[in-house]
Each structure stands twice: as structure tokens, then as C-alpha cells.
A and B are shown apart, each in its own frame.
Chain A
């Protein structure tokens, strides 16, 4: 019979890598299992921007340039990072007609050195934590796919693709948004399905993009489109995403790049022979992410974008909580109750519930590209710089709140569509997402 670990962590993304590092530091007998062979390479698409100097769940993350570390002052820990950084100064909405609503003025942000995001090499950042875990005695099993999980009286048993078994008093499942472990344990049952999100990006070199140091999100196309710099200087990615698995994402990127001003931006650009992508099964966040001594951490308990820091914080807390449970000899839910309380207070109640009620009407079902150009054209001054999802929403909401009268006078037709969009029943949105997507409950 295989040896019994105090804790086994599945998934070496930001959540699992952090949990493994802490388990090692706390002296637990721990293992980290990851299916990738090269644990330092991120294969699932991610823009890799660390949101800093803004409220972030219960945190306010800051960068220490001399010590080369990200500081999480409220939780009381730091993570080391001496890799490359690209500063990002805001979030811009772009439209098919070339309008640009700026949340953050890039030249001003640069002049004042006030970035709201630090783009990092996420794989390297995870690798640092994995190496720290290994240095502290954690067994690292890479190239190992976990396919099954079962509970036995005194432990949790995980089975990999070769049939090998791993036994742990606790398991921290940081296996990402499509968590197989969560699914096998029945966590998806009764969880409202919000859609299958497919995202695909092409990488270019040599594009000439005005005020490029921001994340650009396109509205008014058939799919969601986005443009962002990559960590490597001179590299950009152009992405398209949709909740309809049948949509042609490649065609959507072609469309974006064929019209002005974007065609000019990419006139001299060359596509690198490299495409990245991801597909996420999105269901509402889980209120109590614990069952049968398995604790879900990061995206596995959330939706798809709990974010890098949003996975690191639960990873840190979870490993400490498991340590407490082992010290107290309470190998059960009561043992890790500090984690569950923290999760409920800082993640589920303030943020998770709001995410759970998402599912508003698709803008393209109501507004034409021209309508969206018109609306975007109304915001002439840059708005507050932010990378925080909720601040982005509220800032845009506030800006348009002040413009409603003007829209009503100038374009009553658009006003009517906006009102109709707002009262679109959520059940219809969810039904469409089910129909267009691919829910996995098995």
C-alpha cells in the first residue's frame, strides 16, 4: 500500500503551488501532483496580469521592487518573483468603429508610474513556489494525471492515469475551473450552469498599437474580442471568445483585424506560429468547498477567473488550515473550519454571490455595432484607471448613468434597446447558454 500523506495537493497552478509551498514550510508530509511535465510552462491561456494597488477580495496587493516580491499585507505573506514584468495602466473598451473608452490614461499612468497591473511570467512564478515546496521536502509528481478520487475511512485515495494510487489525510484540489475532482465528488450537482466559455488567441509581433500598455476588450463584434500585450516585448495577442461552442473564433479574429483602425495597427505584424486557447465549464461559485476531506481551492471552487492572487490566497489559507486540523487531530470539516469561515466571509459572500447571479443578456442581441460606436463615442475623457472587474463595471455604469438623459434625447431608439436589454429574463440567457454550451456533470 502507498504511503499516507498529511496532504496531497492536485494542480500546480498558482493556488496549488502556493498550498504546496506552505505545506512544506509547515513541515507537513505533502505531495504536489501535476499533469504537466514542464510545470513552469502555462499552456492554458491567461493574460497573466497581477492586479495591484487596488482592493482585491480581502487584500490590497503591492509590489516590493527591491525585495522582488508581491506583498499580501492583509493576509500577511509575500511571494517571490524575479522574472520579467510589463506594467499595464488600464482597461480600454474598443468598438468596431474604432472608438475607445479608456479606464486609465496610459501616457498619464506611465508619467506618474502608476500601473494597476503587473504582467508576469505566471509559469515562472508558479515554478518558484514549486521549487520552494520541493526544497521543504514536498514530493512533486509531475506528468501525472489524476483521474479518480474516492474516500476511505482514514484517507482520500487518488488514482492517476497509470493506475497508481496516492493516499492523503486531506486533499487540496487546485485542479482548475473544470475540476475533475470536484465533479467526481458531486460538487457540480445542483450548481447553476453559466456556460461553456471557449477562448482562442493568436500571437503577433510587429504590431503598432497606440497606447498599447493596457488590456483592450472589444464590444460590438459577434464574439468577445480582446487585444493585449504579452510578457515578451513586441508580442501581442488577439483573442476571441464565446459561449457558443459552434462559433468560429478564427473568423472573428480575421474580422477584427480586417477593419480600421485595427488593420493599420497590424499592417506590419506577423503571426507567430503559436495559438493558445482555453475552454471553461462555468458554474456558480461553491459556498462550502469541502467534502470527504477534499478542499477545493482557486478556480475549482469558483468560476473561471478567480485570478492569480485570488487563487494564491486560498492556497495559502487552505494549507495553514489543514496544518491546524492535523495539529488538533481533527481530520474533518471541523478541523478546517477557519478556512471555510474565511472563504465565506471574504470570497463567497461579498464576491461569489454577485458572480453567481451573473448572466445578463448578450449585448449583440440588442445593440448593433453602430449603436455601440455611438455609445462609446459619448465618453470622451479617460475614466479612473482600474483592472478590478467590479470597479470596471461600476466605473462604466457610473459614466453611462450620467449620460442617460443625453442618450434619451439624441437616440431614443438606442435608449429603448438598452431598457429592453436590462429587462431580458435571466432564465432565457441561462437556457441559451445551456443550449450553446456543453455542460459536464458526469
Chain B
């Protein structure tokens, strides 16, 4: 599944916008991935300028 390092995230919402299935939301100004919705396309890992979303087994 996909995880985002909260400490480093600027909450620019680039990954939120680019996720094809709206699996990423901003809740209380924190960017959160819903792994039930995520289809593991890895687009978010490519678009983040800070390289934060990453795959964990």
C-alpha cells in the first residue's frame, strides 16, 4: 500500500488532484491515503515534487 511521510508533506495536494480514483484526501490539513480505494497505480509516487508517497509491503 501507499504511505506518505506526514512530517515532510507540504500538503500541496498535487497527489490528491492526480489520483485517478480520489483515494487521497485532505483531512484536518493532513494528506491521507485510503488504501481501500487505492488501486495501486503509483501515479502519486511520480508526481510528488518532494518524492513522498511510497510503496510499502
Contact = CB atoms under 8 A, between A and B. Distances in A.
Most buried by A among B10, B20, B29, B49: B49
Contacts of A438: 18, 43, 46-47
A277 B12 contact: yes
B26 to A, nearest CB: 5
Interface in A31-62: 35-38, 41, 43-45
Interface stretch (A112-120, A196-204, A339-347, A407-415): A196-204
Interface string B1-41: 00000001011111111101010011111000000000000
A358 interface: no
Contact of A275 (B10, B13, B15, B16): B10
Contacts, number: 86
Contacts of B10: 43, 45, 275-277
B13 A281 contact: no
Interface residues of A, number: 33
Contact of A147 (B13, B22, B43): B22
Most buried by A among B15, B43, B46, B47: B47
Interface in A121-154: 143, 145, 147-148
A249 interface: yes
Contacts of B48: 277, 279
Contact of B47 (A44, A161, A198): A198
Contact of B50 (A143, A275, A442): A275
B49 A281 contact: no
B26 A36 contact: yes
Contacts of A45: 10, 12
A275 B8 contact: yes
A196 B47 CA distance: 8
Range, interface on chain B: 20 to 34
Interface string A6-43: 00000000000000000000000000000111100101
Contacts of B18: 178, 279, 281, 438, 440
Contacts of B16: 35, 145
Given A35-B26, A143-B27, A44 B13 contact: yes
B46 A245 contact: yes
Contact of A180 (B14, B22, B26, B27): B22
Contacts of A277: 10, 12, 14, 48-50
21 contacts: A35-B13, A36-B29, A37-B29, A41-B29, A43-B10, A44-B13, A143-B28, A147-B25, A148-B22, A161-B22, A180-B22, A200-B50, A275-B50, A277-B12, A277-B48, A278-B14, A279-B15, A279-B47, A280-B14, A438-B43, A440-B18
Interface of B: 8, 10-18, 20, 22, 25-29, 43, 46-50
